[in-house]
Structure 1
């Protein structure tokens, strides 16, 4: 059977994959079926069609906003622009957001949005028209607001689109003092937070790094503790994959392969990520990078020898037809749903450690939460504590120099004296969140003797959601 036919034969609902993982976790919980069904279901699905004048013609744009859970408000989730956007995909991503937020203790319900356009061929002027009209449609139905539903960037969107959303919301909500908090992922000049761009990739790095510190887990897959020298393959060089690759490289890991849509490049001695990006910008492709081997079929790169495989692009790239050929000992799901349930079972039997998406790529929403809090407080991170920290450190250095009768070099003194900047505080908060999240999942897995980290992560998320409902007094 050809790959194309295999793909058609295996086509199934993305949302059903999440339901299968949810059902596995439910076996470890003594919760009434009705309550579980409530948690699984999407609370609100808003499908819209609106006209936009593009050139001399009127085009009808298909778009969505899904609010999966209202156990906590506001709802939170990105907006993606892609010609492949459909209701099933947006519902699935909204559900994943609910579980992500619960695992990392971010007090949001899950949501997601999507507009069915190809941002590569639509002009910036027309993307702005579509974005502003989409925002006005959300406002009409009360699907956006600082305490209702807070969008963010996703595939095909970024700071530019978020600034248009904020501006449209502000113009249609005069007097709203918390308007900045209606959307996150904004430019820093418009209330954004430093560190948001790299947040998801950095969260992936923190999560894998923490796993690699665990002697028990490393022994189970025959690896040494730590990241240094580990061979890593990353699929996808978008925002998440690029930053993840950069942080792994800086930590001493060896990036042996990078894969993109047009193919992959391989060098067993390692690839310099920064140089690959420069080559990509210059030529429009990662292929033919100096001192590397081209791999025409990007999926084949997933099957190369490595210690850590990080799919950071599309869903369902590891499936039942290629799972047995995967040689990685650890898979970090930087993308949403890159491993199908069937592949999950195959890889589990092989002893592969899979760090699940509902935990591992929660860095983005974690830092979005920090931005939302910053906007609501109307105070920049670091503004109040920076000078205080510098003064305290000055006094401490004086005591050390007096006690030791030795002067500390000026450059070292500057580093110690510097108070925390916004990005320092954001990264510290993200690191703490990812480390705590990992250990909660790991501890639950061990205490309940759960078969893998994914199921343990779902159990943790469901327990937290049930706890929220009980505190609201919704369920007996």
Structure 2
């Protein structure tokens, strides 16, 4: 029997997060009151506001949850979905707290939600909803570069973040750091290169690090490295698309893709970009010429042969009903909470490894942190030192050529001399963060073998870091 807490079938998302927290907390030595403080949501703001729709009005339900104030500001995306509810927003806010701690990003966790289906609204109506949401948060002091910094999430993107930044700046005309109130903005509005693909890139790096550990792969009967590994990705949104892209670039073979309308499979590999363009043109991944198998039920796609499964859609996709049918040996959680606790217990009993969401999809918040720093400093990365580095490198190349008498080709000179761009610096920082964090989690597991899983080890590490923050604040001795 796995040592994960197994909840009742009707347990909600936040309860699942808390159950995992409680299980991990037993491997720490912190005061019960401190643990309760870490686990609890500090602030839950639910509100409703009217918008004009057509010739009438509609009342919109919305939330913003600040889970932990052990670090400031708090940080978390805003989800636009008909399925959003208070329990989900609380759970996602809690996961953000632990996620930031795991990858050593100095934010508390938060999350927002607007209960709408964006497809049912015009662009003007979506703008009105987003701006009104921003006004409500600002009035209650739930938004600001040193208070709470939202980001894109399911159903939202750069456009919505632009509206938020503009609305907040308009309401705070004398605040020089106003654009730091939100991340995930377009480059033209002081966003940062690499943010759009950051979460998917982070998922791919997480998978790469997992399969790089020979000891772990030997237990699964797999070779090390991504080369030749067969991968199924669920979801072709931002996270799923870029996960597939970078996993493919790292050497993996994308054999299956799943979306809500169905799934496709080809054991010899699928061209993820061609599938993406096919779906854009037809509205569905079904009917793609390169697929050898096609399923009208998306869940069937998850159960096809592969080495790595990347659920990058919504929560609760891998449950007690389908986990025994999975043929993957590794699950890398691109989405938040895609695996239920009872399903995770069964997957581990069968010898699998799950790379938990709190770590695997932390690429987005990591690069959001870089964007926030850029907004506060009012200068892009590389602007101050890129040309200096290039001139220094040029002087070194000229000196070496003069001493050795060996002349480099133009391409070799360009490669050596070139200074780092903002995108290269961002990708370097993201890669370093993901690599260090994965091996930190494994080290925590090594030091706490009774924890048994990477998720529990990640929780243990996060709890310890947050506890230290509270102690440094003088809240607990």
TM-score computed with the length of structure 1 as normaliser? 0.97
| RMSD (Å) for aligned C-alpha atoms | 1.0
Aligned pairs (5 A) from 1:243-254: 243-254=242-253
Cα deviation digits, residues 24-46 of structure 1 (max 9, x gap): 10110111211111111100000
Give, in angstroms, the shift of residue 294 of structure 1. 0.9
Partner of 1:106: 105
Q: Distance in 2 between matches of 1:46 and 1:173?
A: 21
Q: Distance in 1 between matches of 2:296 and 2:77?
A: 32
Structure 1 range deviating more: 190-199 or 248-257: 248-257
Partner of 1:264: 263
Give, in angstroms, the shift of residue 391 of structure 1. 1.2
Partner of 1:435: 435
Partner of 1:390: 390
Partner of 2:471: 470
Partner of 1:285: 284
Partner of 1:5: none
Partner of 2:172: 173
Partner of 2:377: 377
Query: Residue 286 of structure 1: SS of its match in structure 2?
Result: coil
Cα deviation digits, residues 198-237 of structure 1 (max 9, x gap): 0000001111111111111111111111000000000001
Q: Distance in 1 between matches of 2:195 and 2:135?
A: 25
Give, in angstroms, the shift of residue 402 of structure 1. 3.1
Aligned pairs (5 A) from 1:52-451: 52-292=51-291, 293-449=293-449, 450-451=451-452
Query: Residue 319 of structure 1: SS of its match in structure 2?
Result: coil
Q: Distance in 2 between matches of 1:307 and 1:50?
A: 47
Give, in angstroms, the shift of residue 184 of structure 1. 0.5
Give, in angstroms, the shift of residue 320 of structure 1. 1.0
Give, in angstroms, the shift of residue 396 of structure 1. 2.4
Q: How many residues are paired up?
A: 468
Q: Distance in 1 between matches of 2:333 and 2:227?
A: 20
Give, in angstroms, the shift of residue 114 of structure 1. 0.6
Query: Residue 264 of structure 2: SS of its match in structure 1?
Result: strand
Q: Distance in 2 between matches of 1:349 and 1:250?
A: 32
Query: Residue 118 of structure 2: SS of its match in structure 1?
Result: coil
Q: Distance in 1 between matches of 2:254 and 2:421?
A: 30
Partner of 1:458: 459
Cα deviation digits, residues 18-75 of structure 1 (max 9, x gap): 0111111011011121111111110000000111112221211110000000001100
Give, in angstroms, the shift of residue 348 of structure 1. 0.8
Cα deviation digits, residues 143-178 of structure 1 (max 9, x gap): 000100001110111111101001110111110011
Gaps of 5+ in 1: 1-8
Partner of 1:3: none
Q: Distance in 1 between matches of 2:144 and 2:240?
A: 30
Q: Distance in 2 between matches of 1:376 and 1:466?
A: 27
Gaps of 5+ in 2: 1-7
Query: Residue 254 of structure 2: SS of its match in structure 1?
Result: strand
Give, in angstroms, the shift of residue 280 of structure 1. 1.2
Q: Distance in 1 between matches of 2:325 and 2:58?
A: 45
Give, in angstroms, the shift of residue 403 of structure 1. 4.2
Q: Distance in 2 between matches of 1:312 and 1:402?
A: 53
Query: Residue 126 of structure 1: SS of its match in structure 2?
Result: helix
Q: Distance in 1 between matches of 2:227 and 2:402?
A: 39
Q: Distance in 2 between matches of 1:413 and 1:197?
A: 31
Partner of 2:5: none
Moved over 3 A (4+): none
Structure 1 range deviating more: 159-168 or 411-420: 411-420
Q: Distance in 2 between matches of 1:33 and 1:226?
A: 42
Query: Residue 196 of structure 2: SS of its match in structure 1?
Result: coil
Q: Distance in 1 between matches of 2:299 and 2:229?
A: 21
Q: Distance in 1 between matches of 2:72 and 2:462?
A: 16
Query: Residue 335 of structure 1: SS of its match in structure 2?
Result: coil
Give, in angstroms, the shift of residue 399 of structure 1. 3.3
